[in-house]
């Protein structure tokens, strides 16, 4: 098994001795059972990934010394995920999977049908850090406080296309708005997205309201997309859309 990875915010340099914080020391000592002499791989997005050796192990603290650089850091694609928070377990899953799938920033947005649960950014950050450690990336996605959809769109950087997962049609009174006005399939829409930055927007369990849908479709930087003929749960939609984005636009393509 490869040596465990640990996201460390301090500067990483040959010979530097680093004190792990209490939670990390507990994790490395108790869960991973590393003792003095054990090897682990500290990393961050500035300094890359290092080989380090445990030099001190105490009940609540641990020190490691950096021995050599293993890999230079490479950035994640410049990809934001905006999602309407769902129930706690599903929100946790969204953050974990979005981290594995390479989102650089995660922005919870409150829409009219978002179920009112508070978003604990610190909790989501720790889920993202753990997923980043397991997934061989160099950074954990930045997680933002929840803001309203309108505020998230206010002052939007229009050079960043917003891929908007829109399952509905335009026909009032028909199931899911009928067939007229359906968005184009995500793969086709992405073939036209050539820039270096992108964002994805996934709605809440109840979907976007007609007003929100009209608002979104009015902006030139918004690209409505379909994720196929079935209605996916929000967390499935995040995973499916990010996977397609990474394979058509992002870093799943051949370098």
Q: Which residues bind ligand SAM (CB under 6 A)?
A: 165-167, 202-203, 205-208, 226-228, 230-234, 237
As measured in angstroms, the least distance from the Cβ of 79 to ligand SAM is 16
The smaller minimum CB distance to ligand SAM, of residues 5 and 213, is found at 213
- Residue 212, φ and ψ in degrees, nearest 5: -65, -40
As measured in angstroms, the least distance from the Cβ of 155 to ligand SAM is 22
The smaller minimum CB distance to ligand SAM, of residues 125 and 205, is found at 205
As measured in angstroms, the least distance from the Cβ of 16 to ligand SAM is 45
The smaller minimum CB distance to ligand SAM, of residues 90 and 121, is found at 90
Q: How far is CA 133 from CA 40, 203, 238, in A?
A: 11, 28, 21
Question: How far apart, in whole angstroms, are the C-alpha atoms of residue 42 and residue 6?
Answer: 5
The smaller minimum CB distance to ligand SAM, of residues 42 and 207, is found at 207
Question: How far apart, in whole angstroms, are the C-alpha atoms of residue 86 and residue 115?
Answer: 6
Question: How far apart, in whole angstroms, are the C-alpha atoms of residue 123 and residue 70?
Answer: 30
End-to-end alpha-carbon separation of the chain, Å?
27
Question: How far apart, in whole angstroms, are the C-alpha atoms of residue 119 and residue 92?
Answer: 10
**Which of 210, 237, 250, 203 is closest to 97 using CA atoms?**
237
As measured in angstroms, the least distance from the Cβ of 143 to ligand SAM is 20
Query: Looking at beta carbons, which residue is closest to ligand SAM?
Result: 203
Spatial contact of 27 and 38, defined as CB atoms under 8 Å apart: no
As measured in angstroms, the least distance from the Cβ of 227 to ligand SAM is 4
The smaller minimum CB distance to ligand SAM, of residues 62 and 189, is found at 189
């Amino acid at each position: 098994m490869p040596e465990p990875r640990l996201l460390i915010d301090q500067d990483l340099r040959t010979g530097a001795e680093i004190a792990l914080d209490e939670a990390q020391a507990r994790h490395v000592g108790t869960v991973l059972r590393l003792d003095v002499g054990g090897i682990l791989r500290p990393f961050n997005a500035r300094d890359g990934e290092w080989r380090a050796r445990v030099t001190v192990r105490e009940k609540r603290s641990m020190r490691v010394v950096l021995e050599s650089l293993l890999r230079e850091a490479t950035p994640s694609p410049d990809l934001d995920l905006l999602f309407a928070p769902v129930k706690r377990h599903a929100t946790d899953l969204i953050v974990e999977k979005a981290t594995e799938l390479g989102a650089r920033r995660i922005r919870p947005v409150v829409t009219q049908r978002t179920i009112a649960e508070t978003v604990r950014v610190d909790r989501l950050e720790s889920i993202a850090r753990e997923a980043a450690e397991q997934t061989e990336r160099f950074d954990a996605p930045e997680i933002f406080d929840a803001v309203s959809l309108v505020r998230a769109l206010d002052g939007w950087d229009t050079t960043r296309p917003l891929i908007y997962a829109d399952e509905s049609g335009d026909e009032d009174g028909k199931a899911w708005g009928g067939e007229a006005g359906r968005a184009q399939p995500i793969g086709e829409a992405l073939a036209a997205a050539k820039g270096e930055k992108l964002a994805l927007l996934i709605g809440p369990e109840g979907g976007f309201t007609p007003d929100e849908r009209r608002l979104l479709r009015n902006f030139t930087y918004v690209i409505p997309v379909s994720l196929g003929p079935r209605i996916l749960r929000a967390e499935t939609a995040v995973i499916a859309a990010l996977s397609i984005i990474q394979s058509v636009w992002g870093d799943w393509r051949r370098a």
